[in-house]
Chains A and B, each alone.
Chain A
Amino acid sequence: MSKEQEIEDLDTLKFIALGGGNEVGRSCHILEYKGKVIMLDAGVHPAYTGISALPFYDDYDLSKVDILLISHFHLDHAASLPFVMQHTEFKGRVFMTHPTKAIYRYLLGDFVKVTSISSGGNGSGANTSAALYTDEDLVQSFDRIETVDYHSTIECDGIRFTAYHAGHVLGAAMYFIEIGGLKILFTGDFSREESRHLNAAEVPPLKPDLLIAESTFGTATHEPRQEKELRLTNLIHSTLVKGGRVLLPVFALGTAQELMLILEDYWNQHANLEHVNIYFASSLAKKCLPVFQAYVNMMNDNIRRQFRDTNTNPFQFRHIKNIKNLDKFEDFGPCVVVAAPGMLQNGVSRDLLERWAPDAKNSVILTGYSVEGTLAKNLITEPDMIPSQANPDQMIPRRLTIEEISFAAHVDYEQNAKFIDEVDPKTIILVHGESNPMGRLKSALLSKYSKFKGTDNEVKVYNPKNCDEVFLKFKGLKIIKALGS
């Protein structure tokens, strides 16, 4: 007689955030399960430079990592990848989507230059204390990065994973991972709202046992899209009308393209602004223009239709001039400048802020997420003075208007909670959020699912700090045929 026995098997998954645990920045998460090790993202922290900006790599043996999945090109998810590949004992395989890899090359080339210069180096990447890696490192590691298509399942050494659209920025992915029967979904950074150029994130077809979710906006609620755009254009228009200049500090890629689509649209509809110049100070974005055009098929229907109908790159704007730097910038009157970096640490956006801050007619509009420790975060408190880049002891009077209108494409509470409902995980690990908003999100979720507490359907929520090990037991089912059958 044959018998099949189901035996419940408890296997333990170990999760460690080497970065991005109770913070935003330097995302890097380790998953250990049944002898396999997966690393999710390898970022840097935008508020620090050099080794301080790295995830806490010293607290984990990177030679154990089998695969490293990069969710998207943002620096807080991808910028320490060359360091990991060239300077540590990491010997695993690295994966990202095609547009992510295409943009990554230019983006990190720019990052190396920026970090070298700001640390006092001569821009060649030679100042080793602040520059984490050189252009040489980038070149040498580049070809070893493997690319994946959305919806294609990759099988690698007993691990299966599939990339799904995450919205947020071009090429951003959520990863659905399967190891030894356990299903895990990592959201990366994601948005559940369609933007001007991207679709909302997808809900993967299978339900995960474990969800690792971003918590940037905690329990906050986003302003409706149209209201935000109206507030933005109204403030810009009124600043220009009273003779002021508008500064929009942005990261070169992502929100910048969204803002420019909004501005171009607005300028098209307001002939009286024809003579007012909009500048976009970013040579990096200019280099990436062909990438945006090449991957139009990954964007939403609006953009694709626009591209089909006009046969022009929808990211090449009639009303916006691309400038490399401020050398030839004629600062004569009302204008709008969209400039990097987004958190005003240095560069063109910082130069302009210092130049324009003393005049009350001017405005600065913060449209991205500002990380703790950056000037942008401090600016939200509307200080009377800001420190000069050149000499931090020297203070510059701040009279210009400061406004925060977030276009950072992250889910808000409602969107995140609804997504979690649809995805229906029994265990959730929160990452990528400052302590307070993350804590509030955890409470809200536990409260929401409190009726399941103590039952088989209980939902557990974790919010680990960096390097705190989380051990999770999952019931696996093993079917054994009895001997003699």
Chain B
Amino acid sequence: MSSAIFYRFRSQKNTSRIFFDGTGITVFDLKKEIINENKLGDGSGFELRLYNNDTEEEYADDTVVIPRSTSVVARRSPPSRGGRSNASRYVTGKPRIVKT
């Protein structure tokens, strides 16, 4: 696989990479890969948010494509909204589309 995204968890020092083919990867797929790579389970016990390392902006829309070689910061938090909002959709399948 020719392309990569660099990521690190917000509290950690070390950076890892997610490899894929193509010029970019969707936020949805990237979160899915990070969850898989770090064996985070079925996603029910946490929320996963991604931020651009330089601008610190959150990638809130799952359908946005992140260009290869971008550096991303991942943040693992408790499930929000009374436990209803968590990362399980990245494991089971349906992207969330943010209406602008």
Residues of chain A touching chain B, judged by Cβ–Cβ distance below 8 Å, are 48-52, 56-60, 62, 87-89, 119, 129-130, 465-467
User: Would you call the interface of chain A mostly helix, strand, loop, or mixed?
Assistant: loop
A130 touches B11 (CB 8 A): no
* B80 to chain A: closest residue by CB: A467
Specify which of B11, B13, B37, B77 is in contact with A129 (CB 8 Å cutoff): B37
A51 touches B77 (CB 8 A): no
* A49 to chain B: closest residue by CB: B39
- Which stretch from B24-32, B40-48, B57-65, B88-96 is at the chain A interface? B40-48
A88 touches B38 (CB 8 A): no
Specify which of B11, B74, B76 is in contact with A62 (CB 8 Å cutoff): B11
A89 touches B40 (CB 8 A): no
How far apart are A119's CB and chain B's nearest CB, in angstroms? Answer: 7
Q: Does B78 contact A (CB under 8 A)?
A: yes
Q: Does B12 contact A (CB under 8 A)?
A: yes
B12 touches A87 (CB 8 A): yes
A89 touches B77 (CB 8 A): no
B78 touches A50 (CB 8 A): no
Residues of chain B touching chain A, judged by Cβ–Cβ distance below 8 Å, are 9-14, 37-41, 45-46, 74-78
A58 touches B41 (CB 8 A): no
A58 touches B39 (CB 8 A): no
What is the CA–CA distance of A56 and B74 in the complex, to the nearest angstrom? 12
A50 touches B11 (CB 8 A): no
B38 touches A58 (CB 8 A): no
Q: A57-B10, A465-B78 are in contact. List 13 more A-B contacts (CB 8 A).
A: A48-B41, A49-B39, A50-B39, A50-B40, A52-B39, A52-B40, A58-B9, A58-B74, A58-B77, A59-B75, A59-B78, A119-B39, A129-B39
What is the CA–CA distance of A51 and B10 in the complex, to the nearest angstrom? 12
CB-defined contacts of B78 to chain A, threshold 8 Å: 56, 59, 465-467
CB-defined contacts of A56 to chain B, threshold 8 Å: 46, 76-78
What is the CA–CA distance of A59 and B38 in the complex, to the nearest angstrom? 18
What is the CA–CA distance of A58 and B40 in the complex, to the nearest angstrom? 14
How far apart are A128's CB and chain B's nearest CB, in angstroms? Answer: 9
How far apart are B34's CB and chain A's nearest CB, in angstroms? Answer: 10
* B43 to chain A: closest residue by CB: A52
How far apart are B12's CB and chain A's nearest CB, in angstroms? Answer: 5
A58 touches B45 (CB 8 A): no
* B13 to chain A: closest residue by CB: A87
CB-defined contacts of A88 to chain B, threshold 8 Å: 11-13
CB-defined contacts of B38 to chain A, threshold 8 Å: 50-51, 129
Specify which of B14, B37, B76 is in contact with A58 (CB 8 Å cutoff): B76
CB-defined contacts of A51 to chain B, threshold 8 Å: 9, 38-40, 76
Specify which of A48, A50, A52, A89 is in contact with B13 (CB 8 Å cutoff): A89
Given the known interface contacts A465-B78, A467-B78, the answer about A52 and B10 at a Cβ–Cβ threshold of 8 Å is no
Given the known interface contacts A59-B75, A465-B78, the answer about A52 and B11 at a Cβ–Cβ threshold of 8 Å is no
CB-defined contacts of A58 to chain B, threshold 8 Å: 9-11, 74-77
How far apart are A46's CB and chain B's nearest CB, in angstroms? Answer: 13
B45 touches A48 (CB 8 A): yes
Specify which of A52, A466, A467 is in contact with B41 (CB 8 Å cutoff): A52
What is the CA–CA distance of A130 and B14 in the complex, to the nearest angstrom? 15
What is the CA–CA distance of A465 and B46 in the complex, to the nearest angstrom? 13
How far apart are B19's CB and chain A's nearest CB, in angstroms? Answer: 15
CB-defined contacts of A130 to chain B, threshold 8 Å: 39
What is the CA–CA distance of A27 and B14 in the complex, to the nearest angstrom? 24
Q: State the 8 A-B residue pairs at the shortest beta-carbon distance, nearest first.
A: A57-B11, A58-B10, A466-B78, A58-B75, A129-B39, A58-B11, A58-B76, A88-B11
* B45 to chain A: closest residue by CB: A52
How far apart are A81's CB and chain B's nearest CB, in angstroms? Answer: 14
How far apart are B33's CB and chain A's nearest CB, in angstroms? Answer: 12
A59 touches B46 (CB 8 A): no
CB-defined contacts of B12 to chain A, threshold 8 Å: 57, 87-88
